């Protein structure tokens, strides 16, 4: 994935692209970085004395602990969500491509439909379903399992479920694109050479789906890392995630400079993750070629 020099040619189109990137990506980033070195104003704004305290504050005792704990929770949640999305999304993509036949487009459509509803509404809907006297428990009661059988709302499992539900389509879609490109002749060749279904999956389908797997994981893992709405709504805000910490600084405490400093650290961590992933998959694809 090397960028060819000609991409940088100054055609009107590429100038527009550069302006777009500069105003929508670079400028806000620079803004955040610069605020992170300022101080908090008396009414929540930012004011002039340049300072490093926003960063040094992260290293002292209780704040460092809170930060590390929330970061750990976020990474764990994002990791679990990604793994869960892979385990469900892969069979789903395989089913859509190989088994759905003429229902393929209709089913794919169904996968996307939830996105027409606002994200908050979808998440609150889960709250309604999962709460102690919610739909799920009603159904279970009708099935004879007793009143208020499950206590799911405000548990880590509910948070994971919400994350999974919201991010699955991204994973399924990028895997779908990869699996659809898979040449079925290769699967036939593998079968012809004596490979059963399991071996065909692990030796042909899986390795050739790595690009989709990587793309899907990036699309799930990175937004999950900063997620704070789902843990708030379905987790009851009992556990602090990095996203919550950030949102607090901006919305409740109104300490923008400290919030910005936290963002900068998070961005650096995500960037490091991406670089590492790029290294790993590049090594992998070089294995394919060399």
Residue of the chain from 12, 146, 196, 283 that contacts other proteins (CB under 8 A): 196
Part of the chain binding other proteins (CB under 8 A), chosen from 35-43, 113-121, 129-137, 196-204: 196-204
101 binds other proteins (CB under 8 A): no
Which residues, in sequence order, are CB contacts of 155 under 8 Å at separation 6+?
Answer: 235
Nearer to other proteins, 105 or 203 (CB): 203
192 binds other proteins (CB under 8 A): yes
Part of the chain binding other proteins (CB under 8 A), chosen from 53-61, 75-83, 141-149, 188-196: 188-196
283 binds other proteins (CB under 8 A): no
To other proteins, the closest distance from the beta carbon of 94 in angstroms equals: 18
Tokens of 202: 């692990």
To other proteins, the closest distance from the beta carbon of 238 in angstroms equals: 45
183 binds other proteins (CB under 8 A): yes
Q: For 31-47, b where at least 16 C-beta lie within 10 A, e where not — what string?
A: ebeebbbbbbeeeeebe
Nearer to other proteins, 172 or 204 (CB): 204
Task: Answer whether 167's CB lies under 8 Å from 85's CB.
Answer: yes
To other proteins, the closest distance from the beta carbon of 145 in angstroms equals: 43
197-206 CB contacts, 8 Å cutoff, 24+ apart: 205/94, 205/179
241-248 CB contacts, 8 Å cutoff, 24+ apart: 241/70, 241/73, 241/74, 241/77, 242/67, 242/70, 242/71, 242/73, 242/74, 242/266, 243/74, 244/70, 245/66, 245/67, 245/70
Q: Which of residues 210-249 bind other proteins (CB under 8 A)?
A: none
198 binds other proteins (CB under 8 A): no
Euclidean distance between CA atoms 218 and 148, whole angstroms? 38
Scanning the structure block, which residue is given the tokens 């105003």?
23
Contact mark string toward other proteins, 29..68, x via CB under 8 A: ----------------------------------------
Quick one: three-class SS letters along 25-54? HHHHHHHHHHHCCCEECCCCCEECCCCCHH
191 binds other proteins (CB under 8 A): yes
Residue of the chain from 186, 222, 229, 269 that contacts other proteins (CB under 8 A): 186
Task: Give the binding site for other proteins (CB under 8 A).
Answer: 183, 185-186, 188-196, 199, 203-204, 207-208, 288-290
């Amino acid at each position: 994935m090397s960028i060819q020099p000609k991409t940088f040619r100054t055609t009107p189109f590429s100038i527009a692209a550069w302006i777009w990137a500069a105003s929508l990506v670079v400028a806000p980033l620079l803004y955040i970085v610069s605020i992170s070195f300022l101080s908090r104003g008396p009414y929540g704004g930012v004011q002039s004395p340049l300072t490093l305290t926003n960063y040094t504050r992260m290293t002292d005792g209780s704040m460092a602990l809170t930060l590390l704990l929330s970061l750990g929770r976020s990474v764990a949640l994002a990791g679990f969500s990604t793994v869960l999305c892979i385990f469900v999304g892969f069979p789903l993509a395989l089913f859509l491509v190989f088994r759905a036949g003429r229902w393929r487009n209709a089913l794919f459509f169904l996968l996307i439909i939830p996105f027409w509803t606002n994200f908050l509404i979808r998440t609150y809907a889960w709250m309604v379903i999962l709460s102690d006297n919610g739909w799920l428990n009603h159904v279970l009661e009708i099935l004879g399992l007793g009143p208020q059988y499950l206590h799911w709302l405000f548990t880590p499992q509910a948070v994971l479920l919400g994350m999974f539900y919201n991010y699955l389509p991204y994973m399924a879609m990028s895997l779908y694109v990869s699996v659809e490109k898979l040449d079925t002749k290769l699967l036939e060749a593998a079968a012809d050479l004596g490979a059963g279904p399991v071996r065909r999956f692990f030796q042909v389908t899986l390795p050739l789906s790595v690009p989709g797997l990587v793309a899907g994981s990036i699309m799930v893992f990175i937004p999950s890392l900063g997620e704070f709405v789902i843990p708030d709504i379905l987790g009851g805000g009992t556990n602090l995630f990095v996203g919550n910490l950030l949102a607090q600084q901006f919305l409740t405490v109104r300490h923008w400079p400290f919030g910005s400093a936290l963002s900068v650290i998070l961005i650096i961590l995500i960037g490091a993750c991406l670089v590492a992933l790029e290294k790993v998959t590049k090594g992998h694809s070089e294995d394919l070629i060399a």
